[in-house]
Amino acid sequence: MSTSIEVAISQPITRDSKLDAAIDRVTTALIEDDGSISAEALAALITHATRCYVQRLQQGEYFSPFHPDIEITATEAMILSTEVLKSADLQLFELGMWQSMGSPT
């Protein structure tokens, strides 16, 4: 049985650029999770992807941070959210205050 991640990745994609090919290789390594990506490299990917995503939001481009064809469970979302808050030394209360101010993006 295929997971939603495997289905999304197995769909044919026409790409010409070296960047897209590199993204495909990284994506495959993330799906396989065979340890070939170090914790430090994974943290760098998450950090840079977060910064890129926030920049686009601040420029008025809104899209979900998650691929529409790849399901993220509530548990995965909660774990990631918790770790992001801890890494930024923020409490849930502070997030609630930020959101109540209209969180400028």
Residue 69 per-residue DSSP state: T
98 in Cβ contact with 105 (< 8 Å): no
> How far is the C-alpha of 35 from the C-alpha of 22, rounded, in Å?
18
The amino acid occupying position 24 is: D
Rg of the chain in Å (alpha carbons): 16
pTM for the predicted model, two decimal places: 0.73
Give the model confidence (pLDDT) of 49-78 as tens digits: 999 999 999 999 999 999 999 999 999 999
If you average pLDDT over residues 70-89, what whole number do you get? Answer: 96
Give the model confidence (pLDDT) of 30-50 as tens digits: 998 878 889 999 999 999 999
